[in-house]
């Protein structure tokens, strides 16, 4: 999967989770950019991402992840 | 909604709950509104979010109060003002083994462990007692799940120092409290965790990262299980199982294969599966679920199949057997009518997806589980919680007989030319009295279940009912009816409040009555309901006579009745008129107000039932 394809799929997940068809995420997107993305919704978002890509984040990754770009990097490192 | 029926896709629900909620709110508007306080010992955010869609699916629109993180005990014990102001209709205490403050140490003596057990238990018990005193509402409390590791390995449950041993003993104390307190229900977290798989359930990441007592993916199954208790408490249980026969209760087609070739019994693996399923269905009957058949078959073949010597279910276990070539949806509608219950109380069980579709699309409100293949039938039905048992009463165990007796009565009615003569032949005996302790649970149940013969459709908890019984301003009456075919149990309830003419306007607007006066010259009828199983038996006249007697004892000369229209109670729109009331007002929403001035020479309206007070 290319980085572009990962972002395409991430967009779908974000749109489902926040019930907003307008969302488009980029490398620099953080929780500050999406109104409903608070620490509680974050849990649900990560679970939906894990399901979409068939992988799991470990605790260290969850703690250190800073933006959507880093999320995509971890996803790419875990899938072929 | 298909997405919310078991077996469901948990991850899909988690991801799209907002969209699902929006659609549920668009689909209907007649929700029962309930205030539910969720007091957590761990994070509750996603639990509340998912519980909400499951409750909406059941027709309950919840308004939630969530305690701050892990403040479940403090909120109750220190009278959190926000909780008090919220005024919950139900409190759900969401605790887990992470909330057990201390477990036994390996060096503890048996006495020390006993003391620790008492201490941990009392931490909860004082809170429950406080809730009972202050909030008078039903409580749902989780039990404790097993920890995901075992210091003592296989001895963990054996040795009193083991955590599993400690949790089992603590759970036993919770169950004992539940057995002795009527509005206290255990949510079996331990069962849910084991059914889900403890290793996945207890994924420590979710505790350490987010302070969730279980993994996120387990939340839908957990919330679904809680929703069953809540909807049962608020009277939304299903009442009847309507079963197909061929390939549902046995393997094969009785009309084609012949009774002797059906797969049922111990000879083949598939026969064993069907035998186990029949045993499961038969056990439903013993907890008060009504059983019926809806099958495309010649009637004789259907009966022959049900008389198979290796089958557990027999023809007499069913109240209505529809075996014919009519559309199953039409049979379903007729079954609902014959039982005098609404189609939304029926669960249709059929192996054929085409029949499932037809019934679901043609009969509004009926539940049609996708039961899968025969070896899955039991699990799907069991987990769907259609008949969640919150208490098991004598009435529940006898319900099938009562409905059967009712059908016998209907048959006999056809043999009488004169209806009054028929009523007399039933040799009816009623007991009509003010609310009594023995029947509080049943009265509350009726107030939550009755939709059709219900003038105001006010829903009450058992605690409310008990409060009316002791409040001097209230006249309460329950009515129990027996006849030569059997005992119908408590079938009618009337609640009236002594007050004044000035209060009529508030009743018409369904506003709370704020005046606290204890006397008053009139009686406002706040509730009048009757179970449809005793329609046209003149029981309503007997109730009226009793209410009039009570009014005269208190010097009340006028009775005011109110009719609040709902989607389901059209049958009683003119009820008060039929009882001799005069309509004094009707607004554009259909709310009508009726007045009855008790005549000096009041003649008893009931002449066919022998009444004991």
Instruction: Kindly report the number of other CB atoms within 10 A of residue B81's CB atom.
Output: 9
Contact A44 B15 (CB under 8 A): yes
Distance from CA of B24 to the nearest CA of A (A): 15
CA B176/CA B181 separation, integer angstroms: 9
pLDDT digit string, tens, across residues B588-598: 999 999 999 99
Between CA B465 and CA B238, with CA B287 as vertex, the angle to 5 degrees is 70
Q: What share of chain B in percent tops pLDDT 70?
A: 99
pLDDT single digits (tens) B216-231: 999 999 999 999 999 9
Whether the pLDDT of residue B124 is over 70: the answer is yes
* Interface touch B46/A40, C-beta < 8 Å: yes
User: Does residue B357 come out as left (phi exceeding 0), alpha (psi in the -120 to 50 range) or beta?
Assistant: alpha
Mean pLDDT computed over B323-340:
92
Q: Give chain A's domains with CATH numbers.
A: 3-78 (1.10.1200.10)
Q: Which of A17-21, A63-67, B239-243, B407-411 has the lowest mean pLDDT?
A: B407-411
pLDDT value at B396 more than 80: no
Pairing relationship of beta strands B90-94 and B32-40 according to DSSP bridges: parallel
Residues of chain A contacting B205 with CB distance shorter than 8 Å: 58-59, 62
- State yes or no: pLDDT of B518 exceeds 70: no
Tell me the nearest-neighbour CA distance from B275 into chain A, angstroms. Answer: 39
State pLDDT tens for residues B227-283: 999 999 998 999 999 999 999 999 999 998 999 999 999 889 999 999 999 999 999
Average pLDDT over residues B329-355: 92
Sheet holding B60-66, edge to edge: B60-66, B32-40, B90-94, B139-142, B184-187
With cut-offs at 50, 70 and 90, classify the pLDDT of residue B406: confident
Q: What is the pLDDT of residue B369?
A: 96
What's the Cα-to-Cα distance from B551 to each of B203, B488, B490, B557, rounded to whole Å? Answer: 63, 27, 22, 7
Kindly determine whether residue A16 and residue B15, on different chains, have CB atoms separated by under 8 Å. Answer: yes
B564 within 8 A of B455, measured Cβ to Cβ: yes
Report phi then psi at B141, rounded to 5.
Answer: -125, 130
Yes or no: say if B64 and B52 are a contact pair by the CB < 8 Å rule.
Answer: yes
- Cβ atoms of B517 and B583 closer than 8 Å: no
How far apart, in Å, are the Cα atoms of B11 and each of A49, B47, B195? 10, 13, 17
> What is the pLDDT, as a whole number, of residue B275?
95
Q: Which of B14, B18, B45 sits opposite A47 (nearest CB)?
A: B14
Nearest to B483 by CA among B384, B573, B364, B401: B401
CB contact under 8 A, B216 and A16: no
**Gap between the Cα atoms of B276 and B261, Å rounded:** 18
Q: How many CB atoms lie within 10 A of CB B137?
A: 22
With CA atoms as reference, report the closest residue to B501 among B585, B578, B381.
B585
Residue with more model confidence, B175 or B486: B175
A10 at B interface, C-beta within 8 A: no
Distance from CA of B153 to the nearest CA of A (A): 27
Other CB atoms within 10 Å distance of the CB of residue A8: 12
Cβ atoms of B393 and B446 within 8 Å: the answer is no
Average pLDDT over residues B391-396: 72
Q: For residue A49, give the chain B residue with the closest CA.
A: B15
| pTM across the whole model | 0.76
pLDDT at B543: 97
pLDDT(B187) > 90: yes
- How far is the C-alpha of B461 from the C-alpha of A74, rounded, in Å? 52
Per the CB < 8 Å rule, is B212 touching A43? yes
**Which residue bears the tokens 């995509």?**
A72
For residues B75-92, average pLDDT: 95
B219 vs A contacts (CB less than 8 Å): none
Mean pLDDT of B54-80: 95
Tokens of B156: 């963990």
d(CA B606, CA B25): 45
- Look at chain B and count its residues: 613
Q: Which domains does chain B have, with CATH numbers?
A: 2-233 (3.40.50.1110), 240-384 (3.40.50.1000), 416-612 (3.40.630.30)
Q: Is the pLDDT of residue B63 over 80?
A: yes
Asked if B46 and A51 come within 8 Å (Cβ–Cβ), the reply is no
Q: Is residue B419's pLDDT more than 90?
A: no
Distance CA B282, CA B548 (A): 45
Structure tokens at B406: 């009712």
Quote the CA–CA distance of B409 and B487 in Å, as a whole number. 13
pLDDT score recorded for residue B174: 97
Give the tens place of pLDDT for each residue, B138-149: 999 999 999 999
Average pLDDT of the residues in B430-438: 94
What is the spatial distance between Cα B348 and Cα B335, in angstroms, rounded to a whole number?
Answer: 11
Q: Residues of A numbered 34-53 whose beta carbons fall under 8 angstroms of chain B's beta carbons: which are they?
A: 40, 43-44, 47-48, 51
A-B C-beta contacts closer than 8 Å: 41
Contact B328, B294 (CB under 8 A): yes
Chain B residues whose beta carbon lies within 8 Å of the beta carbon of residue A44: 14-15, 46, 216
Share of chain A above pLDDT 70, in %: 99
pLDDT value of position B517: 67
Structural element, H or E, at residue B322? strand B320-324
pLDDT at B513: 80
Of B14, B43, B45, the CB nearest to A48: B14
Nearest-neighbour CA in chain A from B284: distance (Å):
38
Question: Please, which pLDDT band fits residue B410 given cuts at 50, 70 and 90?
Answer: confident
Task: Decide if B11 and A18 are in contact by the 8 Å CB cutoff.
Answer: no
- Which whole number is the average pLDDT over B463-485? 92
Are A19 and B11 a contacting pair at CB < 8 A?
A: no
Instruction: Over range B429-456, report the average pLDDT.
Output: 92
Note whether A16 contacts B210, CB cutoff 8 Å. no
pLDDT at B46: 95
Inform me whether the pLDDT recorded for A1 exceeds 80.
yes
The reported pLDDT for the residue numbered B61 is 96
Nearest residue of chain B to residue A13 (CA atoms): B15
> Checking DSSP bridges between strand B429-433 and strand B582-586, what pairing results, if any?
unpaired
Contact residues, chain B, for A58 at CB < 8 Å: 205
Q: Mean pLDDT over all residues of chain B?
A: 93
Q: Residue B597: how many CA atoms within 13 Å on its side-chain side?
A: 5
> What is the rounded distance in angstroms from the CA atom of residue B121 to the CA atom of residue B136?
21
Give the closest residue to B183 by CA, choosing from B131, B137, B121, B127: B137
Q: Which residues of A touch B217 (CB under 8 A)?
A: 47
Taking contacts as CB-CB distances below 8 angstroms, the residues of chain B near A48 are 11, 14-15
Beta-sheet pairing, B486-499 with B558-563: unpaired
**Closest Cα in chain B, distance from residue A8 (Å):** 17
Is residue A18 less than 8 Å (CB to CB) from chain B?
yes
B308-327 pLDDT per residue, tens:
999 999 999 999 999 999 99
Tokens of B485: 């075919």
Distance CA B465, CA B438 (A): 12
User: What's the Rg (C-alpha) of chain A?
Assistant: 11
- Residue A43 clears pLDDT 80, i.e. is over it: yes
């Amino acid at each position: 999967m290319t980085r572009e394809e990962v972002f395409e799929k991430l967009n779908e997940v974000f749109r489902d989770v926040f019930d907003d068809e307008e969302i488009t995420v980029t490398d620099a997107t953080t929780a500050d950019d999406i109104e409903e993305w608070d620490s509680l919704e974050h849990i649900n978002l990560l679970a939906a991402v894990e399901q979409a890509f068939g992988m799991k984040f470990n605790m260290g990754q969850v703690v250190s992840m800073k933006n959507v770009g880093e999320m995509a990097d971890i996803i790419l490192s875990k899938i072929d | 909604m298909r997405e919310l029926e078991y077996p469901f896709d948990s991850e899909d629900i988690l991801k799209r709950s907002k969209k699902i909620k929006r659609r549920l709110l668009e689909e209907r508007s007649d929700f029962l509104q309930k205030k539910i306080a969720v007091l957590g010992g761990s994070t509750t955010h996603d639990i509340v979010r998912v519980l909400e869609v499951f409750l909406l699916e059941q027709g309950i629109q919840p308004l939630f109060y969530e305690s701050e993180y892990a403040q479940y005990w403090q909120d109750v014990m220190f009278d959190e003002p926000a909780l008090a102001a919220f005024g919950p209709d139900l409190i759900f205490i969401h605790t887990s083994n992470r909330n057990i403050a201390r477990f036994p140490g390996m060096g503890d003596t048996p006495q020390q462990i006993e003391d620790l057990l008492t201490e941990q238990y009392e931490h909860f018990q004082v809170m429950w007692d406080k809730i009972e005193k202050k909030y008078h509402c039903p409580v749902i409390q989780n039990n404790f799940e097993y920890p995901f590791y075992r210091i003592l390995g296989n001895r963990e449950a054996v040795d009193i120092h083991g955590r599993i041993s400690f949790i089992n003993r603590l759970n036993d104390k919770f169950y004992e409290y539940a057995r002795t307190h009527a509005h206290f229900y255990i949510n079996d977290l331990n069962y849910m965790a084991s059914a889900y798989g403890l290793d996945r359930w207890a994924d420590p990441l979710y505790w350490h990262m987010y302070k969730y007592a279980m993994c996120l993916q387990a939340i839908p199954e957990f919330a679904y299980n809680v929703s069953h208790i809540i909807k049962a408490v608020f009277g939304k249980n299903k009442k009847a199982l309507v079963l197909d026969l061929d390939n549902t209760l046995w393997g094969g087609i009785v009309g084609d294969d012949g009774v002797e070739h059906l797969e049922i019994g111990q000879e083949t693996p598939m026969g064993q599966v069907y035998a186990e399923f029949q045993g499961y269905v038969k056990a439903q009957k013993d907890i008060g679920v009504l059983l019926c058949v809806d099958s495309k078959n010649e009637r004789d073949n259907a009966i022959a199949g049900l008389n198979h010597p290796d089958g557990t279910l027999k023809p007499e276990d069913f109240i209505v057997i529809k075996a014919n070539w009519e559309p199953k949806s039409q049979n379903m509608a007729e079954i609902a009518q014959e039982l005098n219950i609404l189609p939304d109380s029926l669960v249709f069980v059929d192996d054929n997806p085409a029949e499932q579709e037809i019934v679901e699309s043609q009969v509004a409100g009926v539940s049609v589980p996708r039961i899968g293949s025969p070896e899955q039938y039991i699990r799907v039905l069991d987990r769907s919680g259609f008949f969640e048992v919150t208490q098991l009463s004598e009435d529940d165990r006898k319900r099938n007989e009562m409905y059967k007796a009712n059908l016998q009565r209907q048959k006999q009615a056809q043999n009488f030319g004169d209806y009054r003569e028929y009523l007399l032949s039933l040799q009816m005996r009623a007991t009509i009295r003010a609310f009594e302790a023995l029947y509080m649970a049943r009265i509350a149940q009726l107030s939550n279940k009755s939709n059709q013969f219900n003038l105001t459709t006010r829903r009450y908890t058992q605690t409310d009912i008990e409060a009316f019984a002791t409040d001097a301003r209230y006249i309460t009456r329950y009515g129990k009816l027996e006849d030569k075919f059997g005992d119908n149990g408590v079938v009618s309830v009337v609640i009236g409040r002594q007050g004044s003419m000035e209060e009529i306007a508030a009743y018409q607007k369904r506003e709370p009555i704020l005046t606290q006066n204890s006397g008053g010259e009139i009686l406002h009828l706040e509730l009048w309901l009757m179970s449809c199983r005793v329609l046209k038996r003149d029981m309503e006249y007997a109730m009226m006579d009793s209410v009039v007697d009570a009014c005269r004892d208190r010097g009340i000369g006028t009775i005011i009745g109110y009719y609040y229209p709902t989607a389901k109670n059209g049958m009683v729109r003119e009820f008060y008129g039929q009882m001799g009331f005069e309509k004094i007002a009707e607004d554009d929403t259909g709310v009508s107000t009726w007045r009855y001035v008790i005549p000096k020479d009041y003649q008893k309206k009931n002449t066919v039932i022998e009444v004991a007070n």
